[in-house]
């Protein structure tokens, strides 16, 4: 199996989510969990962006990045000497510092944002990667807006960056414009060109503007990328980045498709999702893959019946594998007899078959009228239909005993 390196960018791109500000101590708390899960690369921030960012990177480099087994700690930089020098300073305590140099390469960005020509871009890429390499061994080069860059020119820039010493070549789909079809083309061509230029790991970096970030990341991995840049809960600029939990679990759930693994301890996924949600103050949508509240809950009768017989019928991930609660049957108007009976029993009630049919009829009436049925509603229904003492399985003696 191929090993795919996870570069978690929650603390950098994730922090660029509108309204999110991680304090340095909070970044350290998240980074500790990432390290505990075995994430090999942590992009801790953008050193030149603010004093707080510099402090966060430096704190992580000192507290978490200084020993022999430490993960790679990375800072993003624009392609200029000042940013690179700031990153180098912040990363000084790290055992494995990485400097990431980002330069826009699409005609649109070069003309309107940077006001540079293609020739100037090639010169800047060469000069800044060489400068970064004079400071650290591990340099990553990213071509911002790569997926809207002329492909021949993009490959030329990547060739220059590899020859200047970049060890990782990142292909950002900065605005979430790519589909798995064109991202595959770009990654395949890059893998080939990078090999000819002397070799480097190719990295994905995908945004979710069209809801394709995880799909594009997986397409990139299938096309030969060896590193995936992801964030916990998929937070990030605008619609966010590819979600760590989605990419990692897709590779793990479908090994015959990708023949690739991340080596991440997925048991920490639920806990880190909750931590990032709390510190970013960004709620996770209930229907979010893997970490959403409903990810392992079932309400329709057909599915509930299947789940009660064998959970493989409607569930492809064992919740405990990602540190989540066991699957949960939600009782509502679509629930069938099997689920209601199992629910009633789980509440410590015991009803005869004849009694149950009466309860089930009343339940269907009640469920149609309520948005949400709570456990108390079920208890009240059973006692209303069958009488106050009906079916209480747990007697005083047994509960004392
Ligand atoms: Mn980004």
Going from the Cα of 235 to the center of ligand 1, the distance in angstroms, rounded, reads 10
Could you tell me which of 118, 92, 91, 124 has the C-alpha nearest to residue 105? Answer: 118
Contact between 110 and 121 (Cβ < 8 Å): yes
User: Which pLDDT value is given to residue 329?
Assistant: 80
Kindly calculate the radius of gyration of the chain based on its CA atoms and give it in whole angstroms. 26
Q: Which residues contact 394 (CB under 8 A, 6 or more apart)?
A: 348
Going from the Cα of 12 to the center of ligand 1, the distance in angstroms, rounded, reads 9
User: Which pLDDT value is given to residue 346?
Assistant: 86
Going from the Cα of 240 to the center of ligand 1, the distance in angstroms, rounded, reads 8
| Residue 387 pLDDT grade (very low, low, confident, very high; cuts 50, 70, 90) | confident
Going from the Cα of 237 to the center of ligand 1, the distance in angstroms, rounded, reads 7
Q: How far apart are CA 75 and CA 77, in angstroms?
A: 7
pTM as predicted: 0.90
Going from the Cα of 114 to the center of ligand 1, the distance in angstroms, rounded, reads 18
User: Which pLDDT value is given to residue 395?
Assistant: 39
- Answer yes or no: is pLDDT of 25 > 90: yes
Reading the block at residue 26, the tokens are 């909070």
Q: What is the mean pLDDT of residues 262-280?
A: 98
Going from the Cα of 145 to the center of ligand 1, the distance in angstroms, rounded, reads 9
The residues that bridge with 228 in the sheet, in sequence order, are: 6, 204
User: Which pLDDT value is given to residue 391?
Assistant: 54
48-58 confidence digits (pLDDT tens): 999 999 999 99
| Residue 243 pLDDT grade (very low, low, confident, very high; cuts 50, 70, 90) | very high
Going from the Cα of 214 to the center of ligand 1, the distance in angstroms, rounded, reads 13
User: Which pLDDT value is given to residue 400?
Assistant: 36
- Exposure of 86 in the CB half-sphere (CA atoms within 13 A): 23
272-305 confidence digits (pLDDT tens): 999 999 999 999 999 999 999 999 988 888 888 8
User: Which pLDDT value is given to residue 394?
Assistant: 46
User: Which pLDDT value is given to residue 314?
Assistant: 87
Going from the Cα of 55 to the center of ligand 1, the distance in angstroms, rounded, reads 21
| Residue 209 pLDDT grade (very low, low, confident, very high; cuts 50, 70, 90) | very high
User: Which pLDDT value is given to residue 392?
Assistant: 56
Q: Which residue has the tokens 């000069």?
A: 127
Q: How far apart are CA 142 and CA 161, in angstroms?
A: 9
Going from the Cα of 238 to the center of ligand 1, the distance in angstroms, rounded, reads 10
26-52 confidence digits (pLDDT tens): 999 999 999 999 999 999 999 999 999
- Exposure of 124 in the CB half-sphere (CA atoms within 13 A): 22
Taken in order 90, 91, 92, 93, the sign of the CA dihedral is positive
Going from the Cα of 173 to the center of ligand 1, the distance in angstroms, rounded, reads 7
Going from the Cα of 266 to the center of ligand 1, the distance in angstroms, rounded, reads 24
Q: How far apart are CA 216 and CA 66, in angstroms?
A: 34
- Answer yes or no: is pLDDT of 399 > 70: no
79-127 confidence digits (pLDDT tens): 999 999 999 999 999 999 999 999 999 999 999 999 999 999 999 999 9
Q: How far apart are CA 90 and CA 273, in angstroms?
A: 27
Q: Check residues 253 and 390 and name the one with the higher pLDDT.
A: 253
Q: What is the mean pLDDT of residues 13-23?
A: 93
The residues that bridge with 230 in the sheet, in sequence order, are: 8
| Residue 16 pLDDT grade (very low, low, confident, very high; cuts 50, 70, 90) | very high
């Amino acid at each position: 199996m191929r090993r795919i390196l996870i570069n978690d960018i929650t603390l950098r791109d994730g922090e660029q989510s509108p309204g999110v500000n991680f304090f340095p101590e909070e970044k350290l708390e998240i980074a500790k969990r990432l390290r505990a899960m075995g994430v090999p690369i942590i992009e801790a921030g953008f050193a030149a962006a603010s004093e707080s960012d510099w402090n966060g990177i430096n704190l992580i480099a000192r507290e978490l990045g200084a020993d022999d087994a430490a993960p790679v700690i990375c800072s993003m930089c624009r392609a200029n000497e000042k940013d690179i020098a700031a990153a180098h300073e912040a990363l000084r305590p790290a055992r494995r510092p990485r400097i990431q140099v980002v330069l826009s390469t699409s005609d649109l960005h070069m003309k309107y944002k940077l006001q540079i020509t293609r020739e100037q871009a090639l010169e800047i890429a060469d000069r800044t990667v060489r400068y970064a390499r004079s400071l650290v061994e591990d340099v990553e080069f990213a071509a911002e807006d790569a997926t809207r860059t002329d492909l021949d020119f993009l490959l030329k820039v990547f060739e220059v960056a590899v020859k200047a010493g970049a060890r990782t070549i990142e292909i950002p789909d900065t605005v979430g414009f790519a589909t798995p079809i064109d991202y595959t083309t770009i990654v395949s061509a890059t893998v080939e060109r990078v090999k000819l230029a002397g070799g480097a790991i190719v990295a994905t970096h995908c945004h979710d503007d069209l809801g394709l970030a995880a799909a594009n990341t997986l397409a990139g991995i299938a096309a030969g990328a060896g590193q995936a840049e992801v964030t916990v809960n998929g937070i990030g600029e605008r619609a966010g980045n590819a979600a760590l939990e989605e990419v990692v679990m897709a590779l793990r759930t479908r090994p015959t498709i990708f023949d690739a693994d991340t080596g991440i301890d997925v048991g920490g996924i639920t806990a880190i999702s909750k931590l990032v949600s709390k510190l970013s103050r960004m709620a996770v949508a209930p229907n979010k893959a893997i970490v959403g509240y409903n990810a392992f809950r079932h309400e329709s009768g057909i599915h509930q019946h299947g789940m009660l017989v064998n959970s493989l019928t409607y569930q492809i991930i064992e919740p405990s594998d990602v540190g989540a609660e066991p699957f949960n049957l939600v009782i509502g108007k679509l629930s069938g007899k099997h689920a209601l009976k199992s629910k009633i029993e789980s509440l410590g009630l015991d009803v005869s078959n004849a009694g149950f049919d009466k309860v089930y009829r009343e339940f269907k009436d009640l469920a149609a009228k309520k948005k949400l049925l709570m456990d108390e509603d079920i208890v009240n229904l059973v006692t209303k239909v069958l009488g106050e003492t009906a079916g209480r399985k747990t007697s005083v003696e047994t509960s004392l005993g």
